[in-house]
Amino acid sequence: MGTKLSFVLLMAFFIGCSNVQQPTAPPQQSPAKLGDVKKIASTGTDHGYWWQCYVSSGSGSISFPQAGTYPGNFQANWSNIGDIVAGKGWNPGSSHSIGYNCGSLTGQYKNFGIYGWTTSPLIEYYVTEIGNVSGTYVNSVSSDGHSYNFYKHQQVNQPSIQGTATFWQYLDNWGGSSTGSNHTVTMNNHINNWKSHGGQGFGGYNLQILAVEDWGGGSGSCNATVWGQ
């Protein structure tokens, strides 16, 4: 997977999710935002990878235009979005290293990077490569040539992969990555720091995807590819 990706869209399998409404009123915004992403509207598998497309309101879709050549490729599009989290990866995840190439990221977006969940305890986590996340600062962790700020935030009675629950978010923020080239996220570095300094431990792996998120009425698109290392 060492060659630079050519993001010329090919005809391919398309799966969309749009105008999917929350069954209850939207949850309150957390300081990090990030808390609206729990009711997974659409999931599946493609070319050996697991994918998710969550849309709270507005229009959003996911497709896999280059997956025949690059199995981890996905394209996300959204407009007038309430909240979207769309991407591709694994379920369950692991502490492996993750390679990615964000070929294009246009329009409005809030964050792009690794997104996942654990259970027992229930924890939602982000490793943000482009964009920004924040919360209560804990410490910093060095990984893959960057320094990430580790924040945490508690979500109280909010939607989750286990229904309405109270849980913690672990939020690692770098945000300085680039489009059009290959990068690595060594998840073991982040997970070890969360275990040591997060205060809530780290549970059993659930979903773990390379994902883009946006909210607040914006429109945009993302074409990216993920692979395990």
Give the angle subtended at the CA of 6 by the CAs of 67 and 185, to the nearest 5°: 70
Judged against a pLDDT cut of 90, whether residue 198 lies above it is answered with yes
Q: What is the pLDDT of residue 125?
A: 98
**What are 96-142's pLDDT values in tens digits?**
999 999 999 999 999 999 999 999 999 999 999 999 999 999 999 99
| Counted domains in the chain | 1
Is the residue at 3 inside a domain?
Answer: no
106 in Cβ contact with 180 (< 8 Å): no
Is the residue at 1 inside a domain?
Answer: no
51 in Cβ contact with 74 (< 8 Å): yes
5 in Cβ contact with 178 (< 8 Å): no
Residue 106 has a CB neighbour count (10 Å cut-off) of 12
Structure tokens belonging to residue 122: 């229930």
**What are 61-100's pLDDT values in tens digits?**
999 999 999 999 999 999 999 999 999 999 999 999 999 9
Q: What is the pLDDT of residue 16?
A: 42
Separation of alpha carbons 149 and 142, rounded Å? 9
- CATH code: domain of residue 204: 2.60.120.180
Judged against a pLDDT cut of 60, whether residue 25 lies above it is answered with no
Is the residue at 7 inside a domain?
Answer: no
35 in Cβ contact with 27 (< 8 Å): yes
H or E element, residue 190: helix 187-197
Judged against a pLDDT cut of 60, whether residue 35 lies above it is answered with no
The structure's pTM equals 0.83
107 in Cβ contact with 126 (< 8 Å): no
Give the angle subtended at the CA of 121 by the CAs of 132 and 205, to the nearest 5°: 70
Q: What is the pLDDT of residue 68?
A: 97
Show the domain range for 207. Answer: 14-228
Q: What is the pLDDT of residue 191?
A: 98
Q: Active-site residues: which are they?
A: 124, 213
